Chain A
Amino acid sequence: MARKLLLEHINVPGINTFDVYRSKGGYASVEKALKTMSPDDVVEEVKKSGLRGRGGAGFPTGMKWSFLAKPEGVARYLVCNADESEPGTFKDRYLMTYIPHLLIEGMIVASFALGAKTSYIYVRGEMMPQIRILEKAIAEAKNAGFLGKNILGSGYDLELYVQPGGGAYICGEETALLESLEGKRGNPRIKPPFPAIAGLYGCPTVVNNVESIAAVVPIINEGGDEYAKVGIGRSTGTKLISAGGNIKKPGVYEIDLGLPVEEFLYSDEYCGGIANGKRLKAVVAGGSSVPILPANLFFKTAKNEPRLMSYESLAEGGFVTGTMMGSGGFIAFDEDQCIVRNTWNFTRFYHHESCGQCSPCREGTGWMEKVLHRLENGHGTLSDMDLLVDVSKKIEGNTICPLGDAAAWPVASAIRHFRDEFEWHVTNASEAVVRNYGLAHYADPLDIKETA
């Protein structure tokens, strides 16, 4: 069993309290950073670790930090993105619920590295229980002298606040999140300027995902080089995977990046295989926005190499035969699931969550939803698939923020890999409304060129 860097103590009774967390070595990274390191040293360690943003984009965290502008006399902010809303993803909820001090500890070290005196954790509004957990943890940390004025006698001051969102997926996009934190509608901003130059209140700001900030703790404790030894290639460290759908053991798992997908899905240590004795039909490996893969392409790349849980291996084959790590929202579909229905469901989600600023996304998501709805309900035509691909191509890349892409990719990939199931919904319309297409040949080793 691989060593856990984030969840090692998750099962210790009372680990959600300051005292127990501290007794397990908690807040050591704050002591190390504030007493023995300069802010630039901390940034350097994070760069060395190779940590990549865990919210979905996978951008190197240390590099993001080094872009932060530092004009004299201007406040800088660290904002933690805890607006976890990507369908399939629930790792941040888990981390904040059971080991909230890990996030608080990471926030203190990261804020110190960036020179932020006030930091915010923006939590999606539905997570009111987690907001209360974090507020209690912050009060405990403050009581113990890890927050507030002159932390551990270092002269560094930090106030940390929790901000609730209002229930909008778009606020997971960093500039929409900043707008929301300023008390406005969550409309993403045009970049540049990037938040590193002009973010919260127009000041230089870094926005990081919960898991990225938590990962700073082991990186500082053990050093960036040690962290980088875990994982594979440019996918360093461990990753929290939210596993859901038709598997035996849904839940959050911390894996070493590079774990074979087959082991992750079938071993009892992780998902435990497909539930109810069914067979695997398809997988969405990184949250609803990433391309869906049929079982055969999920297990093996087009080059016939076993696929691994890493940024590079999941992306192998590009969007033709690959997918993305995304936020690590792993959704398994068994043979009873209908791909058309699921694609319609996801598209309805994006239509609902589109902020409405950009016409391609606002109109395109609604259009795709309507077409998919009629296909699912037996009123589609054979030209609808080309229409959907056409609309998705016209959304992709033509919007201010990536929500447009996120809405387009699931549709394009579902049609690319499951076109005959979509066609079956047209040619056997009356049958399609009462039974599912089933597994067909998707789990068999079909010639991969056919799906390209």
Chain B
Amino acid sequence: MLRVDEAQQPVEFTPELITRFDDIVSRYPEGKQKSALLPILHLVQAEYGWLSSAAMDKVADYLHLQDIEVYEVATFYSMYFLRPQGKYVLEVCRTGPCCLVGAEKIMDHIEQKLGVKEGDVTPDGLFSWRGVECLAACGYAPVLQIGPEYTFYENLTNESVDKLIEDLKAKGN
């Protein structure tokens, strides 16, 4: 859900980001720049970690869209975060084939290890986690992904999850 009470920092896109937006817009016919909306929202989320309404309004300005056209897209697709997340968001596949080989136990383990419930951020701001629907990697199950690069971690065990979390902690901010 759209949370208007989250801290809304003013947003100014860097010239580098605008150049990347321009490149995306050039892929579509004249006047069809709205097609760039999903890819641009991915770039904005990669830059800020989530999509604040201030950032979405800026995207609407850039693409000459109504603000609502951006909100309705951002709220429809599951990859867009509408409130701040941990620096690393562990997204664990929770659909059938992954559950056949232990995805639910992996999620329980992550919850215990990080000490926060699904969707919440750890006090140090480093981690949040959630279950997501099928990631099309059923042969390597259980799996999790971490944005914004969407790096994949396959054939998870409690031990490999522990190591992953420790490695990310060491990398820190």
Q: Which residues of chain A have a CB within 8 Å of any CB of chain B? A: 75, 84-90, 92-93, 118, 120, 124-129, 159, 161, 163-169, 180-186, 201, 242-246, 250-252, 288, 329, 331, 333, 337, 341-342, 345-346, 349, 352-353, 355
Known pairs A129-B151, A166-B73, A346-B96 / 19 extra A-B pairs, C-beta < 8 Å: A85-B133, A85-B134, A87-B133, A89-B136, A90-B136, A93-B137, A125-B150, A126-B79, A129-B149, A166-B78, A166-B80, A182-B34, A183-B36, A183-B37, A183-B69, A242-B139, A244-B100, A331-B97, A345-B95
User: When the two chains form the complex, which single residue of B32, B39, B139, B150 contacts A127, counting CB atoms closer than 8 Å?
Assistant: B150
B20 to chain A, nearest CB (A): 13
Give Cα A355–Cα B78 distance, bound, in whole angstroms: 12
> Once the chains bind, are B100 and A126 in contact (CB under 8 Å)?
no
Interface size class of chain B, counting residues whose CB lies under 8 Å from the partner chain? 35 or more
Q: CA–CA, A242 to B97, complex, Å?
A: 11
Q: Mark B26-53, 1 if CB is under 8 A from A, else 0.
A: 0101001011111101100000000000
Pairs A-B, 6 closest by C-beta atoms: A166-B77, A244-B138, A167-B79, A183-B34, A183-B37, A250-B139
Known: A185-B72, A185-B73. A251 touches B34 (CB 8 A): no
A128 touches B140 (CB 8 A): no
Give B contacts to A, CB under 8 Å: 27, 29, 32, 34-39, 41-42, 63, 69, 72-73, 76-80, 94-97, 99-101, 132-141, 145, 147-152
A208 to nearest B CB, angstroms?
A: 18
| CB atoms of B96 and A88 under 8 A apart | yes
Asked if B134 contacts A349 (CB within 8 A), the reply is yes
Report the nearest B residue to A163, measured CB to CB: B39
Instruction: Please indicate the chain B residues that have their CB under 8 angstroms from the CB of A345 in the complex.
Output: 94-96, 99
Q: How far is the CB of A67 from chain B (nearest CB, A)?
A: 23
Chain B interface mostly helix, strand, loop or mixed?
A: mixed
Interchain CB contact under 8 A, A167 and B78: yes
Instruction: List residues of chain B with CB within 8 A of the CB of A355.
Output: 76
A126-B135, A250-B141, A353-B133 known; A166 and B76 CB under 8 Å?
yes
Contact across chains for A168 and B77 when beta carbons are under 8 A apart:
yes
A residues in contact with B97, CB < 8 Å: 87-88, 244-245, 331
Report the minimum CB–CB distance from A178 to chain B (whole Å).
Answer: 10
Contact B96 A87 (CB under 8 A): yes
Residue of B38, B78, B79, B133 near A183 (CB, 8 A) is B38
Interface-centre pick from A166, A333, A345 (highest chain B CB count, 10 A): A166
From B139, which residue of chain A is reached at the shortest CB distance? Answer: A250
Q: Are B38 and A163 in contact (CB under 8 A)?
A: yes
Contacts of B136 in A (CB 8 A): 84-86, 89-90, 92-93, 124, 126-127
Q: Are B101 and A87 closer than 8 Å at their CB atoms?
A: no
CB closest chain-B residue, reference A334:
B100
Whether B99 lies near A183 (C-beta < 8 A) is: no
B34 neighbours in A (Cβ, 8 Å): 182-184
CB contacts (< 8 Å) of A184 on chain B: these are 34, 69, 72-73
* Subset of 6 A-B contacts with CB under 8 Å: A168-B78, A183-B69, A245-B97, A245-B100, A333-B100, A355-B76
What residues of chain B lie closer than 8 Å to A353, measured between beta carbons?
133
B150 near A128: Cβ-Cβ < 8 Å: yes
Please state if B73 and A331 are interface contacts (CB–CB under 8 Å).
no
Closest to A356 in B: B76
Residue pair A180, B38 in contact (C-beta under 8 Å): yes
Residues of chain A with a CB closer than 8 A to B148's CB: 128
CA distance A358 to B37 in the complex (A): 25
Q: Bound state CA distance, A90 and B134, in angstroms?
A: 10
Contact (Cβ within 8 A) B150 A129: yes
Q: How far is the CA of A331 from the CA of B139 in the complex (A)?
A: 9
Q: Are B38 and A164 in contact (CB under 8 A)?
A: yes
Q: Which residues of A contact B32 (CB under 8 A)?
A: 182, 201
Residue of B27, B77, B149 near A125 (CB, 8 A) is B77
Q: How far is the CA of A194 from the CA of B107 in the complex (A)?
A: 42
**Would A244 and B134 count as touching, CB distance under 8 A?**
no
Residues of A within 8 A of B149 (CB): 128-129
Q: Does A349 contact B96, Cβ atoms closer than 8 Å?
A: yes
Which residue of A87, A166, A244, A246 contacts B41 across the interface (Cβ within 8 Å)?
A166
Residues of A within 8 A of B140 (CB): 90, 250
What's the minimum C-beta distance from A368 to chain B, rounded to whole angstroms?
15
Shortest C-beta distance, B149 to chain A (Å), equals 6
Interchain CB contact under 8 A, A352 and B137: no
Task: Evaluate contact between B35 and A331: CB separation under 8 angstroms.
Answer: no
Closest to B43 in A: A164
Q: How far is the CB of B64 from chain A (nearest CB, A)?
A: 12
A349 contacts which chain B residues (CB < 8 A)? 95-96, 133-134
A137 to B: closest C-beta gap in Å: 16
